[in-house]
Structure 1
Amino acid sequence: MTTIDFSALHLVIDNESPTLEILKVVFGESTDTFQFNDDYYRISKLITDNKYFWFYAKYGKAFPYSTTVMNIINHNEEPNPRTKDQVEPDKQLFGLYCAEEKVFFLSNTKKKMLLESYLRSKLNKDVVIKTFYKDVDEFVNIIQKVDKIKFVAKKNLFSIDGEIMKIFPSPKDLYGLGMPDDFSLEANFPGVNKTDAFVEKLKKMVGWKDSCEADSLVCIGRDDKNFETIFNADSFTQKITITASKDQHGMHDEIIVRDSLMRRIKGD
């Protein structure tokens, strides 16, 4: 068994997270070929439940090329059966975009430029793949406007009597059924300018996450170029590691990797 690390990235198309319509265009089930720099890619894509958008590529180079190969059994040098017009796609790239969380999990962050180039070619739109901000001070210095704030809290020893409970009129018994096991708040703003009060409140909410009162916290803003920028305090979504075996040729099975990743994301 080997491990595959998936990094969480922010996919931005024309300055914002992609809509379902755009995702369906670029990730619709199909097989494609693409050349980027010296690599040739064989790409397959799949959509699941209109929420998960899968990207898989096998790739390799045509050059450098040797006219001979070494036989590892008899140690003899033999003519290379591959021609200069052929590529041995012995490398793999896996990616999964989660529409609800606005997170693009990628198995090799060095391939961000490849993905950007490929998506631009399919959509004829500006595409940028960025990392999420984890430092709240850096995030509030970058953004100029606020679009959305969302957090999720779960009932535990820290949240029952925590400051997070003060945001609702009566959160411990909002519906006459006792305290819910979990609850969320999502506030949407039409690109409201950042204020000092917002910065203070966001830092306080980060404290809720650090003290285990809040389970997750996401804030979406826009920088001075109007690019959507995301602060994500959830350490789980920054990187996911899965284990998967390789076949007799040293390659991972695409379906096994995809299913393992989706189970980890769903928490199954």
Structure 2
Amino acid sequence: MKKIIKKPLIFSGVFLYLDNDKLSIDNFHKHLPSGSYTNNGDSKVQIFDIEYEESYLKMNFGEGIVGPRNPNVYNFDTKEEEPNPRTKNQVEPRQTFAVVDFRTSFVWISNSKKRVALIDLFKDYFKTSSIVVKEIYDEGQFIEMLKSLDNIKISAVPNLFSDSGILSKTLSEEINGYEASVATLSLSYNNRLTNNYLIGKVKSIFEQKNSLKSIVIAGKDENNLGMLFNTEGFSRKIDIEAIVDEDEMFSPEDVYRKLIYKIKKENA
């Protein structure tokens, strides 16, 4: 029996609004029907395959560039170099998955760096509309929803660790002795349930945020869904393990099935 191979995917989510209103599935059906869409640039191509299911828009898209292209590749089996079979006018799009939940106007995407590509596609088909990403969670909501901690990372100029009250003066002076311009304090909790003491520590970090260069706090809510706070805002995340083929390409059907199942649990 052939062994089933799975790999992890992490989806982060944000709210998306169209003309200050939640996204409408009827409006999207009208302007962006199911099918394939291609956006070609001078040296880059974006390919989108979209399909509607219940109250969801499923999006599988890839982006690739013509170059740089090494004329040779290394054959792992023969341990020799051989001519690159990819021609100069061919690209290898990398997989990205996204799901739009029209009930909540929430967009989940497997690579947050590709969010702009989605927004640009929507703008092409909603030309007269304003499309806005909204991070609606504040520090108070994050603290209220945080039920377990995974890790905390704080970066600052070394001497500010003592000024902010996060570390003692002695420890800060020890760190400052390395003469680094920025120091990062990393604390691991391994899914530890929060208590009043830990929540108090998180609150104290937020109170000192103006003295800190960056803050990253990872944890989970009461539904065991991932939460991530950083100085650029709040986002949620969903982790799944999906089937990949012999070329390590994900099965879109398996990705969507597992992601939508977890989204439904999130909305329950």
TM interval, shorter chain, is 0.5 to 0.7
**Equivalent pair of 1:69/1:79 in contact (CA under 8 Å):** yes
In percent, how many aligned pairs have the same letter? 25
**Equivalent pair of 2:240/2:259 in contact (CA under 8 Å):** yes
What's the secondary structure of 2:70's corresponding residue?
coil
C-alpha separation between the residues in 2 aligned to 1:34 and 1:261? 26
What's the secondary structure of 1:28's corresponding residue?
coil
* Residues 1:252 and 2:243 are matched in the alignment: no
Runs of 4+ in structure 1 over 6 Å off: none
Change beyond 3 A, Cα 1:266–1:36: farther
Q: Which one of 115, 129, 133 corresponds to residue 129 of structure 1?
A: 133
Letter matched to residue 108 of structure 1? N
Aligned CA-pair RMSD: 2.7
* Residues 1:12 and 2:17 are matched in the alignment: yes
State the TM-score, normalized to the length of structure 1.
0.57
Change beyond 3 A, Cα 1:75–1:26: farther
C-alpha separation between the residues in 2 aligned to 1:26 and 1:102? 17
**What pairs with 1:46-61 in structure 2 (closer than 5 Å)?**
46-49=51-54, 51-61=55-65
**Equivalent pair of 2:66/2:89 in contact (CA under 8 Å):** yes
| Number of residue-to-residue matches in the alignment | 172
Measured after TM superposition, the shift of residue 105 of structure 1 is 1.0
C-alpha separation between the residues in 2 aligned to 1:37 and 1:8? 31
Gaps of 5+ in 2: 1-5, 143-220, 227-235
Gaps of 5+ in 1: 139-232
Letter matched to residue 8 of structure 1? G
Change beyond 3 A, Cα 1:113–1:96: same
Q: What is the aligned partner in structure 2 of residue 98 from structure 1?
A: 101
C-alpha separation between the residues in 1 aligned to 2:20 and 2:75? 52
**Equivalent pair of 1:27/1:55 in contact (CA under 8 Å):** no
**Equivalent pair of 1:36/1:114 in contact (CA under 8 Å):** no
Q: What is the aligned partner in structure 2 of residue 41 from structure 1?
A: 46
Deviations 1:176-215 (A, max 9, x none): xxxxxxxxxxxxxxxxxxxxxxxxxxxxxxxxxxxxxxxx
Change beyond 3 A, Cα 1:137–1:47: closer
Change beyond 3 A, Cα 1:251–1:97: same
Change beyond 3 A, Cα 1:27–1:48: farther
State the TM-score, normalized to the length of structure 2.
0.57
Q: What is the aligned partner in structure 2 of residue 80 from structure 1?
A: 84
What's the secondary structure of 1:260's corresponding residue?
helix
**More deviation, 253-262/238-247:** 238-247
**Equivalent pair of 2:17/2:105 in contact (CA under 8 Å):** no
**What pairs with 1:1-268 in structure 2 (closer than 5 Å)?**
1-35=6-40, 39-49=44-54, 51-89=55-93, 91-124=94-127, 125-136=129-140, 236=225, 238-267=236-265
